[in-house]
Structure 1
Amino acid sequence: MTHQVDAHVGKRIRHRRWMTGMTQQQLAESVGIKFQQIQKYETGANRVSASRLWDIAAAMGVGIGFFFEGLEGAGEMVQDPTHNKEALDLVRIYYSIPEEQRRKLFDLARVLGAA
């Protein structure tokens, strides 16, 4: 049976990989394993060792704590916007916009959010 923390860490790996546009193959090659192992990590079927998580975090440019964000207490998960496909799509699209236009869009969103 998959432990809730293992499933959460796997989801965070998948979301970060997806947000960076990295394939399972690319991530696997960067940490020296087969892509099937990445698949197993992402589904929570296999636990990620501390050293492997360290390598994955480095390959994806985040700290290890990133993979545990959203966990609270004894396995209860807090709602995390990265679990929402629409939010992930929005973030990916946002970062594909040229920086000057992105700043203007951010300013507009800030004004609309305050209204």
Structure 2
Amino acid sequence: MSQEKLADALDLTFQQIQKYERGMNRIGASNLYKISQVLHVPVSYFFDDMPEDLNETSDRKVVEELFNTRHVGRRETINLVRYFYQIPDEATRRNIIALMERLGEGEGDSPEDTGI
């Protein structure tokens, strides 16, 4: 499948797909899941060639790193989701997601690290 076709299926630019392929940007768990759905492979397909020493990490730590579950139950996460789904326009919601993905891919300290 071409980068353009994959990008269209994921509602991303082909440049973003190139950045994923080259390792310039990390792929978030939700996008990894979407890619697996488009390519008709399980998410585990992308981890088949992981070095053995990475597999020795505790399951909880792996899940936290892959899916960032430590934020799921936080009040701000719940509020963010609630307010997001109150936005009636689907295109606006997609734009917000794209903005959040770009902001999340930025380098630097997270608000949690800086005390913001």
TM-score w.r.t. length of structure 2: 0.45
- Looking at both structures, which has the greater relative contact order when contacts are Cα pairs under 8 Å and sequence separation is at least 6? 1
